[in-house]
Homo-oligomer: A and B are copies of this chain.
Amino acid sequence: MRIGELAGAAGVSVRALRYYEEQGLLAAQRTPRGQRVYPPAAVDRVQLIQQLYAAGLPSRTILELLPCVDAGVSTPESLARLAAERDRIDEQIAGLIATRDRLDRVIAIASDPTHPCMTS
């Protein structure tokens, strides 16, 4: 598939795909005239990249962990790195749950009809 199709299928921009290639995250075959060609599996890979970005990992870290996550190739170092990132995500989850619960309590109090501070 070509870059526009991949972008549509994976839900990202064409520019983002070229950026991923620039960062070494996503390789592409080329036609004799220089246009990028991707295998169908690239869709999953792009979505994985997006998922890791969403978890707050920078390109460099994703680059280090992708062979590990994607192909199952692992060294002791990459495994440790993987575990460290997992723990970081865990802390992030815990923080978000605390924030959500705090917002929930605020909502509960503010939704209480007997609440004294309604502006309306």
CB distance from A72 to the nearest CB of B (A): 5
Distance between Cα atoms of A86 and B110 in the complex (Å): 14
- Chain B residues contacting A14 (CB-CB under 8 Å) are none
Distance between Cα atoms of A86 and B102 in the complex (Å): 9
Instruction: Point out the residue from B54, B99, B120 that lies within 8 Å of A54, measured CB to CB.
Output: B99
Q: Interface residue count for A (Cβ, 8 Å)?
A: 40
Within 8 A of B (CB), among A90-120: 90, 92-93, 95-100, 102-104, 106-107, 109-111, 115, 117-120
| Structural contact, B68 and A99, CB atoms closer than 8 A | no
Interface residues as binary, A57-83 with B (CB distance below 8 Å gives 1, 0 otherwise): 000000000001101111110010011
Distance between Cα atoms of A103 and B51 in the complex (Å): 11
CB distance from A47 to the nearest CB of B (A): 11
Give the residue among A73, A74, A95, A104 with the most B Cβ atoms within 10 A.
A74
| Structural contact, B99 and A89, CB atoms closer than 8 A | yes
| Structural contact, B55 and A110, CB atoms closer than 8 A | no
Given A79-B110, A93-B96, A74 contacting B104 (CB threshold 8 A): no
